[in-house]
Chain A
Amino acid sequence: DADVTQTPRNRITKTGKRIMLECSQTKGHDRMYWYRQDPGLGLRLIYYSFDVKDINKGEISDGYSVSRQAQAKFSLSLESAIPNQTALYFCATSESGGKSSYEQYFGPGTRLTVT
């Protein structure tokens, strides 16, 4: 887990506020992902990036944006937070090719509460 770090670990914010969640990795992986976890819904992909210049929408990208500042950094922003964005957010990384590229390494998560 220490190879993928997320900040903050917990955050409470108010409706309408802008918030950024940050992810850093020391694994040297090109691919990075943002997921949200909700009880009974599992993990759902928000955005993913295969390199600094390649960013793609996932299953549930509405209301979110991302920035890939460097190979090691991938940030998730909520431009105007709403209560149904209250969830546990995970960043993950993977290698860029071959069989090893299937395995994703997850950070410890950020628990976000929007009031």
Chain B
Amino acid sequence: LAKTTQPISMDSYEGQEVNITCSHNNIATNDYITWYQQFPSQGPRFIIQGYKTKVTNEVASLFIPADRKSSTLSLPRVSLSDTAVYYCLVGPRYYNQGGKLIFGQGTELSVKP
């Protein structure tokens, strides 16, 4: 299983763009990259998923370079409500390629006014 490394914490201010990078040097060919957000006292919530290049949804963008050894979650114009822990997961898309979804330590993002 690919191991992920993220910064333990990050600080930002309201209105800024935040980029959180995740390293996954041992990513396998059939692995996808998924990001979750967790608020205090709640379970994690899916944000975005991708395999390569760039993926964008209404919440965030995910940038994945050609070698796929890292990925960057980009949050545009953060607000105080984006203060949370962000997890990067790397794992196979299909169950028959390996059934476990492993979370790392996550990045604690603190957005200040």
Task: Check if A and B associate.
Answer: no
